[in-house]
Amino acid sequence: MRGKSLIALSSVLALIFIGYRYLPSYYNPFAPLQLNDPPGRMTQYKLRRLSPQACTALLTQARQQQMISARPVADSQGDCPLSNVVRVQDFGAVKLNNSFLASCPLALSSALFVQQQARPLTERFMGSALVRIDHLGSYACRNIYNRADARRSEHASADALDISAFHLATGQQVTVLNGWRQARTQPWLRAMLSASCGYYGNGLGPEYNAAHANHFHLGMRGFGLCR
């Protein structure tokens, strides 16, 4: 009986191996992440598991494809040390109100999110190109909600970006604070926040709590909490 069980188990493992071998690379958890992989749980999983070297290589490819402009920043020490971080200057055609510090995973996830989701969703819902994103910052050496007894915030490791507004080619500016309350812009903003689940560990917006009423918090911690 034991021998038959081992044979059956071996057969199942062989089928699994063969299945993975013929899966499209973006569905295969063992295949390296590619910049053109579609969003979803598998892409999010691969983003979370990237080695520093693999992340840097993909970020270099993203720069070459003009998905992002970013330059390396020297490692720092102190209460909230940083390593393998970059300063993001823009997302190609989508500009920023200010540059920001980002861990490599945050920079890469953001570049993919803007290219694959934010831009096409803006065209679809608003009938205009997305030309600029305003943010409230990324790096801040603090605990969650600045509470002394709380754990370190994602911002303390440059692993989160707070987005406050979007600018369209028509000249329209849509803030998260006001746009979330308006019938014309709320479906678009909801779609944007929902789409962030395919890249970030968490995406928190106005319905999460009052502290996020005026921005989307897009962070690398967790796995798929977007609301």
The arrangement of strands across the sheet holding 85-90 comes to 69-73, 85-90, 100-103
Residues 150 and 91 in one domain: yes
Residues 149 and 221 in one domain: yes
In the chain, how many domains are there? 2
Helix (H, G, I), strand (E, B) or coil at 141: coil
- Same domain for 141 and 214, yes or no, is yes
CA angle centred on 64, ends 61 and 67, rounded to 5°: 85
Q: What is the pLDDT of residue 9?
A: 45
Range of the domain at 62: 33-226
Residues 7, 112, single domain; the answer is no
**Are residues 102 and 8 located together in one domain of the fold?**
no
Tell whether 111 and 25 lie within a shared domain: no
Instruction: State which amino acid sits at residue 68.
Output: I
pLDDT at residue 44 in the model: 84
Which residues in the chain come in under a pLDDT of 70?
1-23, 223-224
What span, in angstroms and rounded, lies between the C-alpha atoms of 212 and 137?
A: 14
Residue 78 DSSP code: S
pLDDT at position 22? 59
- The pLDDT assigned to 13 comes to 44
Question: CA-CA distance, 39 to 196, in Å (whole number)?
Answer: 9
**DSSP strand pairing (160-168 vs 95-96):** unpaired
If asked whether residues 51 and 152 sit together in one domain, one would say yes
Single pTM value for the model: 0.86
Same domain, 9 and 99: no
Same domain as 45, residue 27: no
Check whether residue 71 and residue 120 sit in a common domain. Answer: yes
CA distances from 106 to 12, 52, 135, 213, 216 (A): 37, 12, 14, 22, 14
Please check whether residues 170 and 140 belong to one and the same domain: yes
Tell me, yes or no, whether 51 and 24 share the same domain.
Answer: no
Question: How far apart are the C-alpha atoms of 105 and 160, rounded to whole Å?
Answer: 10
List Cβ neighbours of 202 (8 Å cut-off, separation of 6 or more): 217, 218, 219, 221, 222, 224, 225, 226
Question: What single string gives the DSSP state of each residue in 21-72?
Answer: HHS-TTT-TTSPP-TTPPSSHHHHHHHHT--HHHHHHHHHHHHHTTS-EEEE
Could you tell me the two tokens for 161? 């970006």
Render pLDDT for 39-70 as a digit per residue (tens, 0 to 9): 888 888 888 889 999 999 999 999 999 999 99
Q: What angle do CA 100, 103, 105 make, to 5 degrees?
A: 120
